[in-house]
Amino acid sequence: MMFKPLNSPIKNWSSRRVWLIGASSGIGAALAQDLLARGAKVAVSARREDALKSVVGQHSNAFVYAFNVMHTAAWPDALARVEQALGEVDLIVLGAARYDPQHSWEIDLDAVRASYELNVISMYAGLHTLVPYMLNKPGRGVALISSISGYTGLPRALVYGASKAALQNLTETLYFELAPKGVSVYLINPGFVETPMTAVNDFHMPSLITPKQAAKEIVKGFEKGQFEISFPKGFATTLRWVARLPYRLRFWLLHRMTNM
């Protein structure tokens, strides 16, 4: 029992119905394209319908539904529309997010509020509708996209890192409570991925990968039944171990690693 996968491994994507929220660009878009190519039925959601249509192209196994994830009242209708199009949904991936790089001496409260509204509160808004739905039929799964920046405090991640740390704690609690009831729960922790969000960074991003590479890592994690799907492996593992060090040593190492 100790060495069994924490979730049920997914082996046959052609029989899966997946709903991706935050799929208009970056990792979400690449994951949609990867799963569509594997034969899964995929619904994609975000605010921009035109961008979503561009992501799925002419795939007959795709469904586009645009809505604002921060509107709690919009979620029940969104779920109903997706289920009507795909049938019962097996896996839901929550990935809507924004990135507002800030230092502690330049806090922008409007950006802080906007980040938490999208990165954290929208997740609760979705879960408010989705958890009862998943409990209604064991075997379903939900994945939250966080970030390895949630492992420890990092330069310019004053807002983003803190919001992603909140998601890590949230997802751990979801697993603790839902896994015994037959619901698979996944925590996705990417490192630096070449997306519109990271394009604003003016510093070297270690182990930078493409969205397509990120999507393949996520699919691999689903297929192995992993709880935490973190990548790229070397960088993610290093940062996790740094985060476990005593603070005096951790801060010293992070200063040397980031030249700050």
Written as six digits, the tokens of 146 are 């966080």
Query: How many other CB atoms are there within 10 angstroms of residue 179's CB atom?
Result: 16
Does the annotation count 160 as an active-site position?
yes
Cα 17 from Cα 44, distance rounded (Å): 11
Cα 252 from Cα 127, distance rounded (Å): 39
Closest CA to 44 of 71, 64, 74: 64
Cα 34 from Cα 87, distance rounded (Å): 20
Closest CA to 19 of 77, 120, 72, 88: 88
Cα 63 from Cα 175, distance rounded (Å): 28
* Catalytic site residue from 65, 133, 160, 186: 160
Ramachandran class of 66: left when φ > 0, alpha when ψ lies in -120 to 50, beta otherwise? beta
- Classify 117 as helix, strand or coil: helix
Query: How many other CB atoms are there within 10 angstroms of residue 254's CB atom?
Result: 18
Residue type, 33: Q
Residues forming beta bridges with residue 44, ordered by sequence position: 20, 64
Respond yes or no on whether the N-terminal peptide bond of residue 76 is cis (omega within 30° of 0).
Answer: no
Annotated catalytic residues are 160
